[in-house]
Amino acid sequence: MKRILVTGGAGFIGSHLCKKLLEQNNSVICLDNLFTGSYENIEPLIADKNFKFVEHDVTEEFWTDVDEIYNLACPASPKHYQYDPVKTIRTSVIGVSNMLELAKQNDAKILQASTSEVYGDPLVHPQDESYWGNVNPIGVRSCYDEGKRCAETIMSDYHRQFGVDIGIVRIFNTYGPNMAKNDGRVVSNFIIQALKGENITIYGDGSQTRSFCYVDDLTDALISLMKTDYNRPVNVGNPDERTILELAQRIIKLTNSKSNIIFKELPSDDPIRRKPDIALAQQLLNWKPSTNIDDGLRKTIEYFALFV
Ligand code: NAD
Ligand code: UDP
């Protein structure tokens, strides 16, 4: 039985990951400061004797015995990471440094949850791992984008300098149950608005694209990547690219909603197109996403319908 630390384990992706790791007979420590995560997300896991929750902030040192670390702690939605941008960048940079020291002390493997945001507003489409990105270093998204880019740097330097065993996963837009109700990201916003019959708020004209991956597909890839000895970044996401307008129309249809679509101002630095090239993940992990967008949205709608 492995002892696995999941930082950000009470969040959306983290809670699914903790559940899957427990099902695979691991002992899981979930570390979270509950900024955007919630106790409700991990409540079903609490009774498991192999699960332990520790309320802690990754910007503070943390010492324990571990074999593997998944470092997910960081607010992920623009609304939340822009709420306290200084804290966001500290969480990425100091948080990953603390977790790397822990990995070094334990001779443990560490996997960093990086992001498609390291590509910024990409000039290359689709984005593969060799692209260095087009990121504004001083904009409103920079606390997140540059924090995650710096985390990749620190990870790579701990690997080169101290031989720490690392993995870096660049996660593209992922959705599913356990996203926070007030998360502010597009899938949860549109579903909640559609279920309530409120206006669906498209920022800009809705022609910008994203590629949406269902959370189960993503957690499978994270666990597979942890098992490899590949130490450079790997894109994980679903290359099924959609416009935001199409996503809104699809959600209206799936919820039988009477909501109208309204258009609001596009936030600054909002990427125009985003689609992962997942050839590396396919080859390295023998993985590809298997949940189509309608099935994934249906499961997510079912989840949010419990609260609306
Ligand atoms: P989330 O906000 O639901 O989860 C983040 C978790 O980290 C929350 O439980 C939060 O309370 C915790 N956290 C935040 N700051 C912390 C701190 N200082 N100390 C301890 N815990 C802290 O977001 P998510 O979508 O589950 O994202 C998880 C990870 O995946 C993040 O690192 C995010 O950057 C990355 N990611 C997610 C997506 C996506 O589409 N969901 C895309 C790219 C990258
Ligand atoms: N978006 C939108 N309406 C919303 C929330 C988001 O039109 O209520 C847009 C947002 O401007 C972006 C896309 O949807 O173009 C994805 O936004 P999200 O915050 O989910 O993630 P991002 O990929 O931008 O980090």
What would the two tokens of residue 148 be?
A: 């995650």
Mean pLDDT, residues 177-204: 97
Name the CATH architecture for the domain at 3-178+213-239+275-291.
Answer: 3-Layer(aba) Sandwich (3.40)
CA 290 to ligand 2 center in whole angstroms: 23
pLDDT at 26 (0 to 100) = 98
Give the model's pLDDT for residue 211: 97
Domain boundaries along the sequence of the chain: 3-178+213-239+275-291
Whether 175 is catalytic: no
- 164 pLDDT band, cuts 50/70/90, is very high
Tens digits of residue pLDDT in 43-59: 999 999 999 999 999 99
Interatomic CA distance for residues 194 and 182, integer angstroms = 15
- Distance (Å) from CA 133 to ligand 1 centroid: 21
Measure the CA–CA gap between 37 and 142, rounded to whole angstroms. Answer: 22
Q: How much of the chain, in percent, has pLDDT values that exceed 90?
A: 100
In angstroms, the CA 48 to CA 65 distance is: 19
- The answer to whether 165 and 109 are in contact (CB under 8 A) is yes
Q: Which of 13, 41, 79, 116 to mutate to test the pocket of ligand 1 (most atoms within 8 A of CB)?
A: 13
Pairing verdict, β 166-171 and 233-236: parallel
**What is the pLDDT, as a whole number, of residue 212?**
98
CA-closest candidate to residue 36, choices 9, 16, 68:
9
| Active-site position among 144, 158, 175, 214 | 144
* Residue located via tokens 């319908």: 305
